[in-house]
Chain A
Amino acid sequence: NAGVTQTPKFRILKIGQSMTLQCTQDMNHNYMYWYRQDPGMGLKLIYYSVGAGITDKGEVPNGYNVSRSTTEDFPLRLELAAPSQTSVYFCASSYPGVAFFGQGTRLTVV
Chain B
Amino acid sequence: EDKVVQSPLSLVVHEGDTVTLNCSYEVTNFRSLLWYKQEKKAPTFLFMLTSSGIEKKSGRLSSILDKKELFSILNITATQTGDSAIYLCAVNFGNEKLTFGTGTRLTIIP
B-binding residues in A (CB < 8 A): 31, 33, 35, 40-45, 48, 50, 58, 90, 94, 96-104
A45: nearest chain-B partner, CB-CB: B97
Q: Tell me if A103 and B102 are in contact (CB < 8 A).
A: no
> When the two chains form their complex, are residues B88 and A104 in contact, meaning their CB atoms are under 8 A apart?
no
Which residues does chain A contribute within 8 Å of B99, judged by CB atoms? 45
The 9 closest A-B pairs by CB, nearest first: A42-B100, A101-B42, A42-B102, A43-B100, A96-B96, A103-B41, A103-B42, A42-B103, A101-B43
CB distance from B19 to the nearest CB of A (A): 19
Q: Give the interface SS of chain B, mostly helix, strand, loop or mixed.
A: strand
The complex places the Cα of A101 from the Cα of B88 at a distance, in Å, of: 13
Question: What is the size, in residues, of chain B's interface with A at 8 Å between Cβ atoms?
Answer: 21
B96 touches A31 (CB 8 A): yes
Cβ–Cβ contact B96 & A104, under 8 A? no
The 28 listed contacts between A and B (C-beta, < 8 Å) are A31-B96, A33-B97, A33-B98, A35-B100, A41-B102, A41-B103, A42-B100, A42-B101, A43-B88, A43-B98, A45-B99, A48-B96, A50-B96, A90-B42, A96-B96, A97-B32, A97-B48, A98-B34, A98-B45, A99-B34, A99-B45, A99-B98, A100-B45, A101-B43, A101-B44, A103-B41, A103-B42, A104-B41
